[in-house]
Amino acid sequence: MTRPVPQGPDARRELPAVHVVLAEPALASLAAAPAAARRAAAAAAVASARRRLAESGGRAPDSAELAAAARAALERARRPPLCRVVNATGVPLHTNLGRAVLAPAAIAAVVEAASRYSNLEYDLDAGARGSRTALVEPLVREVTGAEAALVVNNNAAAVFLCLRALAEGREVVVSRGELVEIGDGFRVPDVMRESGARLVEVGTTNRTHTADYERAIGPDTALLFKAHPSNFRIRGFTAEVDAAALAALAHAHGLAAVMDLGSGLLRRLAVPAAGGAEPVVADLLAAGLDLVMFSGDKLVGGPQCGIVAGRRAVVERLRRHPLARALRVDKMTLAALVATLALYRDGRAAEVPTVAMLAASPKALRRDAASLVRRLRRAAAGRAEVRLVAGASEAGGGSLPDVALPTALVAVRAPAVGAARLAARLRRGTPAVVARIEDDALLFDPRTLLRGDARILEERLGAALLPEPSGRER
């Protein structure tokens, strides 16, 4: 231990042989990888260490360090492309992390639908062909009060189908305050153009009145269209025409009024911070709108899909359009949606993870954060400062913009590593961990942690704070 550590090219002679690296527990215990893959990874780790020493000198890593590097490389290479992520951001509907997590009942329904035959399009009473829509329509009707419903692949598809089926080659009147872009390429004017409908803009960015819509109505008008500005708010000197007034105007002219709602809240949230920030689907339909379209995987907390709820005659026109077949949902989506909606129907919405996360009490969040602080302090073993701080979470998915949900955060500061590098190590490991960075601290929000996640955070943080032997980090 006291002999001088060789530096530079000489250090290459100190590198262990590949078979010595292979025998290290880190690699020998990795039974999931075939022996040939383990050998190749060990050889690659030794070769890359040799190159590094030749280029920049330094100390030769020992066999345990090389085995750890080889194991990490193997695990990275073997990780499935779509993999588990621990969401420590506190954003329940993080679009990049898959939006809603399904309720246990919905997961069970997906497994059942995937593993067995089902009556997907078979009427068991009649012994004849049935319809997949018939499986979900009664539930949508029950939880929204709609006359009829249709489910397609996502809300973007619902809006597109609606415009194509009801307004192709004709005019659709929209307020300039509602020509929204929701991100990732969905812009109301673009969707409108692609659908073959002609956009007629009325009003101004901040104020639109009933008379503005009325003046725009002509012989070519097919629809009055409302879009929920789901991801932003216009404040100050503003005016919009509400659902009831828009529906009344449309009906007085023999037209339909429809709304792209986006998030689709089914029950008023028991979240004081959210107040009445988001309209409830049933209220909009009761106000007279002919169709309301919303996502299944935003505030509903179900699978990705687009739900169309409204008057029977209007929904029927969408259902009979040839595009409906191209946009239909698969059986696993239907299974998950039906199970999720059944929870709402049965007064068990609190079992929907999205609902539970949004409604989590500040007291429960503080308790979870305090217990996470203890775990992470243990994991940090003095290499980082771990503190509980007050903060706020966002809902995400373009839902409840403006609403800051009070939460308790765990802040981790490790000046020796730096927040950006620590975050990168957590992202690149297995399971991946995604957290927020603020003021050179990593912030972990317990709101979105699922069962078992705290233990993973503890393990991953402990490993990420260790000095990096390979010196290969970007």
Contacts with ligand PLP, residue ranges (CB under 6 A):
154-156, 180, 182, 186, 227-228, 230, 260, 262-263, 295, 306, 398
Which CB atom, from 227 or from 255, has the smaller least distance to ligand PLP? Answer: 227
CB of 390 to ligand PLP, least distance (A): 29
Shortest Cβ distance from residue 388 to ligand PLP (Å)? 34
For ligand PLP, the nearest residue by Cβ is 262
What whole-number distance in Å separates Cα of residue 66 and Cα of residue 470?
Answer: 8
**For ligand PLP, which is the closer residue by CB, 177 or 398?**
398
Nearer to ligand PLP, 143 or 180 (CB): 180
Distance, in Å, from the CA atom of 275 to the CA atom of 465, rounded to the nearest integer, reads: 41
Secondary structure class of 122 (helix, strand, coil): strand
- Of the pair 96, 361, the CB lying nearest ligand PLP is at 96
Distance in Å, CB of 263 to ligand PLP, minimum: 6
Q: Are strands 128-129 and 122-123 parallel, antiparallel or unpaired?
A: antiparallel
Q: 52: closest CA among 425, 467, 472? A: 472
45 or 157, CB closer to ligand PLP? Answer: 157
CA dist., res. 50 & res. 216, Å (int)? 74
- Least separation in angstroms between residue 177's CB and ligand PLP is 13
- Cβ 230 to ligand PLP shortest distance, Å: 4
Neighbours of 259 (CB within 10 A): 28
**Which residue's CB is nearer to ligand PLP, number 61 or number 302?**
302
Report the SS3 class of residue 181.
strand
Judged by CB, which is closer to ligand PLP: 240, or 260? 260
Q: 185 or 219: whose CB is closer to ligand PLP? A: 185
Q: How far lies 414's CA from each of 94, 172, 208, 473, in Å?
A: 26, 55, 52, 17
Count Cβ neighbours within 10 Å for each residue of 144-156 and write b for 16 or more, e otherwise: bebbbbbbbbbbb
Closest separation between CB of residue 473 and ligand PLP, Å? 35
One-letter amino acid at 358 equals L
CB of 303 to ligand PLP, least distance (A): 11
Choice between 63 and 208, CB closer to ligand PLP:
208
Alpha-helix residue ranges (DSSP H) falling in 57-132:
63-78, 104-115
Cβ contact 231:200 at 8 Å: no
From CA 236, how far away is CA 252, in angstroms rounded?
Answer: 31
Q: How far apart (Å, rounded) are the C-alpha atoms in residues 154 and 297?
A: 9
β-bridge partners, 392: 406
Contacts 24+ apart (CB under 8 A), 71-77: 71/26, 71/27, 71/30, 71/41, 72/429, 73/41, 73/44, 73/45, 74/30, 74/33, 74/37, 74/38, 74/41, 75/430, 76/428, 76/430
CB-nearer residue toward ligand PLP: 63 or 175:
175
> Least distance to ligand PLP from the beta carbon of 186, Å?
5
Q: How far apart are CA 415 and CA 211, in angstroms?
A: 60
Shortest spacing between CB 153 and ligand PLP, in angstroms: 8
CB atoms within 10 A of CB 212: 18
Q: Least separation, in Å, of the C-beta of 100 and ligand PLP?
A: 11
